[in-house]
């Protein structure tokens, strides 16, 4: 069927000539260089950092020559999450996670920057001279080759200034990314189809008296093209009330309401036109004189004259640069009812910026045409307004949505704004980049904050990526996950040790498989014996440390020479009682320097026939080497002053032995509240030694706590644990709002991190069930993510007693099949009509 309306081809009106040396050349001989822009993530930038970003843009724009155009184009496109469920190695829980987020909609952000060199004549042209209104365009030749060369040089300086800022990264687009190749669309093709996918299809563009269409989509344009539409004052940033408190401040860029926070398909175009500054001021002087001479005819002329004088005074006294500016929000939809909602949303977001929403229907085609990458010089001059460079830059969107880490290793978390799953590396990539110096983590979250949920979620993903995981727990938090792994691996992994009187956790500190005692092993034995000997508040004297060190060394020498001596605590005790006593007497060591009788008396309960003789004389080693997921549940002895610390040390020592033997494999030890057992003065060196050793052997030590008072009152925790943990993970701290100053000082948190932590769970989406988590890496990189999981994961991780009982009762009915019980229970909650039996 023939088109009866007046029509033309895109080729006939197309304003661009070629792409050469990475530059877009228009048919009017304008040069444009295109960049992809990476901006900081949402809610991670402070007020001072926004000012630094603004300052970087200011310096960069200043190096551009006259008659240059800066065009920043931000695409915000609705997309849906595509789950990766095809991989065979995906576990039951990983597959459930992916299915839970299937087709989850989110707003994706793509940011481009176009720097254009045009001429004085072109910069003055109005909409009636747009290439859209002219006939066939005859390409012009670049008249001033030297000006072009200077512009390219200035663009290089611009790029360096922005990349050196540390906040914004510019990447120059290659010719293939501009024009497209091999079935992959370029940015020009993507612009014409209002899409950012690589496989776009070109659509007819319809220009009608009341609207403009691209394919089935109807455009809705709001412009900021008049000073009257702007607020009296602009800033680099503004306070985001939803995530701020009276003690913390969450900041966003001034234009953020029309950026990520506007949840519809839209493009936000920001234009800055750099004219001849001196000529601009000269023209204003002339206009002011004309206004003055006509002031007797109208008071408005006198008022305008005063405004122009004020503008000129500002420019001269403060050395400000006069520029022209224009911004527009171009949204679209193929549904007219939705378009009405979008129009209202855009208007209300502009009103949040204190701008006057101006819905522009007349200039949509020419402004759409001027937004074509490389066609910035076709912008209608009457749509711009005069301002200063600093104020114009405040209208730039300066943040983007959360991004996934470019790393093969990591954990799945969720974007707190859009709910999109993200791949976050908090271990390897930060070390590679030099942000952190170790992989250790300190986790702080009060009861009910989702701490156990997060740790279950994290260690499960570490395990699935090949890590060896050892957990020391005091509350059965990992029973479900451990049991599930145990069933899946047919007993190979998911080993669950519970301390009971009938089956206590015991080991032999003097046993080494290869018979070699290195310095680290000797230090470990000394620390263990010191912990048995001295009380928490009783520091050993230097002479006692030396005597103990000599005793351990002499005993190790003995068992190395005499194979008839069985290495264990019993024979060590006998050696000190008999042989070492004689050595001390020969050396005339005084009792006040080392009281051997006191030493033997205190350690007697661990010797043969003593109350705890089983603890350190085990004839079988804990087989931790080949088991990849092990949980030690110490709830039964967590209040026992002797057994609790000794058992914890035994487990840590067994973990260190495992670390030494498993080269090149990630190892993780996570200690829940059991860290209190080792937070004594005598243990400080041992903890430091553990953390140092963990780093050396590709390991991670993670300490989890919920009591603020415990960490505030323990200098050992600060010096030995917190200072050696470069990754700090905090959950909801609002109940400690009044104590947060001391927490901030203890953890060495910045004011920016404080604001992020206090924003946790403040504006959660009512339709989604999740808790938020704060990550700080080395004190330089921090963000808040959401722990949102599938129902299958929820029932695996839950610590709610009634839910655990329901799950395990159902598993028992199903012959011990926990995975099937989880599936049935999750399905019954999703679909209440279905039965769990």
Q: Is the pLDDT of residue 290 over 80?
A: no
C-alpha to C-alpha distances, 207 to 8, 118, 202, 219, 373, nearest whole angstrom: 11, 27, 16, 10, 20
Q: Is the pLDDT of residue 568 over 50?
A: yes
Q: Is the pLDDT of residue 155 over 90?
A: yes
- b (16+ CB within 10 A) / e for 450-483: bbbbbbbbbbbbbbbeebbbbbbbbebbbbbbbb
**C-alpha triplet 251, 166, 423: angle, nearest 5°:** 75
pLDDT at residue 338, as a whole number:
96
Spell out the residues 6+ positions from residue 250 whose beta carbon is closer than 8 angstroms to its own: 43, 239, 240, 242, 243, 244, 755, 756, 759
d(CA 715, CA 687): 13
The arithmetic mean of pLDDT across residues 116-120, rounded, is 90
Confidence grade of residue 734 (pLDDT, cut at 50, 70, 90): confident
d(CA 272, CA 115): 10
Q: CA-CA-CA-CA torsion for 101, 107, 113, 119, nearest 10 degrees?
A: 150
How far does CA 812 lie from the centroid of its chain?
41
DSSP 8-state secondary structure symbol assigned to residue 466: T
d(CA 328, CA 383): 10
d(CA 706, CA 824): 33
pLDDT at residue 140, as a whole number:
59
Computed from CA positions of residues 556, 562, 567, 571, in that sequence, does the dihedral angle turn out positive or negative? Answer: negative
Query: 244 and 759 in contact (C-beta within 8 Å)?
Result: yes
User: Mind listing the pLDDT tens digit for each residue in 516-549?
Assistant: 888 878 887 888 898 888 877 777 888 998 999 9
Query: 521 and 659 in contact (C-beta within 8 Å)?
Result: no
| Residue scoring higher pLDDT (252 or 448) | 252
The arithmetic mean of pLDDT across residues 424-440, rounded, is 95
pLDDT at residue 730, as a whole number:
96
Confidence grade of residue 640 (pLDDT, cut at 50, 70, 90): confident
User: Nearest-CA neighbor of 656 among 518, 776, 477, 531?
Assistant: 518
d(CA 188, CA 26): 13
Model-level pTM?
A: 0.88
| Residue scoring higher pLDDT (430 or 501) | 430
User: Nearest-CA neighbor of 68 among 292, 324, 246?
Assistant: 324
C-alpha to C-alpha distances, 403 to 41, 80, 407, 422, nearest whole angstrom: 7, 15, 12, 7
C-alpha to C-alpha distances, 68 to 154, 327, 378, nearest whole angstrom: 10, 17, 12
Query: 690 and 652 in contact (C-beta within 8 Å)?
Result: yes
Phi-psi region of 441 (alpha: psi -120 to 50; beta: other; left: phi over 0): beta
C-alpha to C-alpha distances, 218 to 4, 269, 366, 657, nearest whole angstrom: 21, 18, 15, 67
User: Nearest-CA neighbor of 720 among 690, 750, 677?
Assistant: 690
Output the six-digit token pair for 76: 């915000």
pLDDT at residue 6, as a whole number:
65
Mean per-residue pLDDT of the chain: 88
> Averaging pLDDT over each range in 69-78, 438-447, 539-548, which range is the top one?
69-78
d(CA 782, CA 752): 9
User: Mind listing the pLDDT tens digit for each residue in 475-503?
Assistant: 889 999 999 999 999 989 999 988 888 88
d(CA 704, CA 767): 30
User: Mind listing the pLDDT tens digit for each residue in 202-212?
Assistant: 788 888 878 89
Largest distance between two CA atoms of the chain: 118
Confidence grade of residue 1 (pLDDT, cut at 50, 70, 90): very low
The arithmetic mean of pLDDT across residues 111-129, rounded, is 80
How far does CA 204 lie from the centroid of its chain?
40
Spell out the residues 6+ positions from residue 43 whose beta carbon is closer than 8 angstroms to its own: 240, 243, 250, 252, 399, 416, 756, 759, 783, 784
522-531, 659-668, 777-786: range with lowest mean pLDDT: 522-531
Q: Is the pLDDT of residue 236 over 60?
A: yes
C-alpha to C-alpha distances, 576 to 52, 263, 547, 560, 583, nearest whole angstrom: 66, 74, 11, 16, 9
496-510, 574-588, 708-722: range with lowest mean pLDDT: 708-722
Rounded-to-5 percentages of helix, strand, coil across the chain: 45, 20, 40
Q: Is the pLDDT of residue 623 over 70?
A: no
User: Mind listing the pLDDT tens digit for each residue in 335-363?
Assistant: 999 999 999 999 999 999 999 999 998 88
Confidence grade of residue 2 (pLDDT, cut at 50, 70, 90): very low
> Averaging pLDDT over each range in 524-533, 601-610, 733-742, which range is the top one?
601-610
The Cβ of residue 733 has, within 10 Å, a number of other Cβ atoms equal to: 22
Please measure the distance between the N-terminal and C-terminal CA atoms of the chain and give it in whole angstroms: 62
Q: 3-state class of 103 per DSSP?
A: coil
d(CA 212, CA 201): 18
Confidence grade of residue 772 (pLDDT, cut at 50, 70, 90): very high
| Residue scoring higher pLDDT (389 or 137) | 389
pLDDT at residue 135, as a whole number:
52
> Averaging pLDDT over each range in 61-70, 79-88, 120-129, which range is the top one?
61-70
pLDDT at residue 150, as a whole number:
94
Confidence grade of residue 136 (pLDDT, cut at 50, 70, 90): very low
Q: Is the pLDDT of residue 167 over 60?
A: yes
User: Nearest-CA neighbor of 402 among 417, 392, 390, 381?
Assistant: 417
Query: 507 and 621 in contact (C-beta within 8 Å)?
Result: yes
Q: Is the pLDDT of residue 834 over 70?
A: no
Question: Any idea which residue has 């007219």 for tokens?
Answer: 336
Output the six-digit token pair for 426: 């908090």
Residues in the chain: 837
d(CA 471, CA 631): 5
| Residue scoring higher pLDDT (655 or 173) | 173
Confidence grade of residue 141 (pLDDT, cut at 50, 70, 90): low
Give one DSSP letter per residue of 637-694, joined into a string.
GTT-TTHHHHHHHHHHHHHHHHHHHSTTS-EEEEE-GGGGGG-SGGGHHHHHHHHHHH
Burial class (CB in 10 A: 0-12, 13-18, 19+), 490: exposed
DSSP 8-state secondary structure symbol assigned to residue 758: H
Output the six-digit token pair for 348: 């209300």
Q: Is the pLDDT of residue 308 over 60?
A: yes
pLDDT at residue 159, as a whole number:
98
Confidence grade of residue 279 (pLDDT, cut at 50, 70, 90): confident
CA within 13 Å, CB half, 667:
27
d(CA 408, CA 635): 36
d(CA 190, CA 21): 21
CA within 13 Å, CB half, 476:
10
The arithmetic mean of pLDDT across residues 255-280, rounded, is 92
pLDDT at residue 695, as a whole number:
86
pLDDT at residue 67, as a whole number:
92
Output the six-digit token pair for 717: 């925790």
The arithmetic mean of pLDDT across residues 284-290, rounded, is 69
Output the six-digit token pair for 260: 């990520």
Q: Is the pLDDT of residue 127 over 70?
A: no
Confidence grade of residue 10 (pLDDT, cut at 50, 70, 90): low
The arithmetic mean of pLDDT across residues 705-725, rounded, is 79
């Amino acid at each position: 069927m023939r088109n009866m309306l007046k029509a033309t081809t895109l080729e006939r009106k197309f304003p661009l000539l070629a792409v050469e040396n990475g530059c877009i050349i228009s048919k009017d001989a304008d040069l444009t260089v295109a960049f992809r822009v990476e901006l900081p993530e949402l809610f991670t930038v402070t007020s001072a950092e926004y000012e630094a970003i603004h300052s970087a843009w200011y310096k960069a724009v200043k190096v551009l020559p006259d008659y240059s155009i800066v065009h920043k184009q931000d695409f915000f496109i609705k997309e849906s999450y595509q789950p990766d469920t095809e991989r065979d190695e995906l576990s039951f829980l990983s597959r459930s996670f992916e299915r839970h987020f299937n087709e989850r909609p989110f707003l994706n952000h793509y940011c481009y920057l176009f720097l254009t060199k045009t001429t004085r004549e072109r910069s003055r042209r109005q909409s009636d001279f747009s290439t859209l209104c002219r006939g066939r365009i005859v390409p012009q030749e670049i008249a001033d080759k030297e000006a072009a060369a200077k512009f390219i040089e200035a663009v290089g300086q611009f790029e360096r200034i922005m990349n050196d800022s540390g906040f914004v990264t510019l990447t120059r687009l290659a010719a293939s990314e501009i024009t497209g190749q091999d079935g992959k669309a370029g940015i020009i093709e993507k612009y014409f189809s209002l899409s950012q996918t690589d496989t776009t299809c070109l659509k007819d563009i319809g220009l009608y008296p009341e609207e403009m269409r691209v394919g089935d989509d109807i455009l809705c344009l709001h412009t900021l093209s008049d000073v009257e539409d702007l607020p009296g004052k602009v800033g680099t940033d503004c306070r985001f009330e939803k995530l701020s408190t009276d003690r913390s401040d969450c900041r966003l860029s001034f234009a953020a309401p029309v950026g990520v926070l506007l949840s519809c398909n839209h493009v936000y175009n920001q234009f800055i036109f750099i004219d001849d500054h001196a000529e601009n001021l000269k023209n204003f002087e002339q206009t002011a004189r004309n206004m003055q001479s006509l002031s007797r005819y109208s008071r408005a002329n006198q008022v305008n004259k005063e405004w122009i004088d004020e503008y000129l005074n500002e420019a001269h006294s403060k050395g400000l640069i006069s520029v022209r500016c224009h911004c527009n929000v171009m949204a679209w939809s193929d549904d007219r009812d939705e378009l009405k909602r979008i129009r209202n949303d855009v208007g209300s977001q502009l009103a949040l910026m204190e701008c006057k929403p101006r819905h522009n229907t007349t200039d949509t085609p020419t402004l759409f045409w001027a937004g074509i990458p490389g066609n910035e010089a076709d912008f209608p001059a009457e749509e711009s307004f005069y301002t200063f460079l600093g104020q114009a830059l405040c209208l730039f969107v300066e943040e983007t949505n959360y991004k996934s880490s470019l790393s093969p290793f990591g954990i799945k978390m969720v974007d707190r704004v859009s709910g999109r799953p993200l791949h976050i590396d908090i271990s390897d990539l930060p070390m590679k980049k030099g942000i952190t110096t170790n992989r250790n983590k300190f986790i702080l979250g009060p009861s009910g904050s989702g701490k156990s949920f997060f740790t279950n979620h994290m260690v499960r993903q570490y395990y699935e990526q090949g890590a060896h995981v050892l957990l020391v727990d005091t509350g059965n938090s990992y029973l479900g996950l451990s049991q599930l792994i145990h069933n899946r691996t047919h007993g190979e992994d998911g080993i669950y040790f519970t301390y009971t009187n009938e089956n206590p956790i015991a080991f032999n500190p003097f046993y080494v498989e290869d018979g070699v005692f290195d310095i680290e092993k000797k230090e470990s034995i000394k620390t263990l014996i010191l912990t048995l000997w001295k009380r928490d508040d009783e520091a050993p004297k230097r002479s006692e440390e030396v005597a103990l060190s000599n005793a351990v060394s002499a005993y190790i020498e003995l068992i190395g020479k005499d194979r008839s001596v069985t290495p264990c605590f019993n024979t060590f005790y006998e050696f000190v009682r008999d042989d070492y006593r004689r050595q001390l007497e020969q050396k005339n060591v005084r009792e006040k320097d080392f009281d051997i009788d006191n030493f033997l008396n205190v350690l007697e309960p661990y010797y043969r026939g003593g109350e705890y003789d089983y603890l350190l004389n085990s004839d079988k080693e804990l087989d931790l080497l080949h088991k990849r997921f092990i949980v030690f549940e110490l709830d039964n002895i967590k209040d026992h002053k002797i057994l609790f610390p000794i058992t914890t040390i035994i487990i840590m020592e067994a973990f260190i032995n495992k670390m030494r033997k498993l080269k090149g494999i990630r190892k993780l030890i996570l200690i829940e509240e059991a860290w209190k057992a080792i937070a004594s003065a005598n243990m400080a060196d041992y903890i430091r030694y553990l953390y140092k050793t963990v780093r050396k052997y590709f390991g991670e030590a993670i300490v989890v706590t919920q009591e603020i008072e415990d960490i505030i009152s323990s200098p050992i925790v600060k010096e030995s644990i917190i200072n050696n943990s470069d990754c700090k993970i905090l959950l909801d701290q609002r109940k400690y709002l009044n104590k947060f100053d001391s927490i901030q000082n203890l953890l060495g948190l910045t004011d920016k991190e404080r604001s992020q932590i206090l924003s946790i769970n403040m504006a959660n989406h009512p339709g989604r069930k999740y808790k938020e988590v704060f990550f700080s890496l080395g004190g330089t990189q921090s963000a808040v993510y959401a722990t949102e999981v599938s129902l299958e994961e929820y029932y695996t991780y839950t610590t709610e007693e009634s839910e655990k009982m329901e799950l395990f009762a159902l598993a028992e009915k199903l012959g011990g099949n926990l995975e099937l019980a989880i599936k049935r229970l999750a399905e019954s909650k999703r679909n209440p009509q279905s039965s769990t039996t």
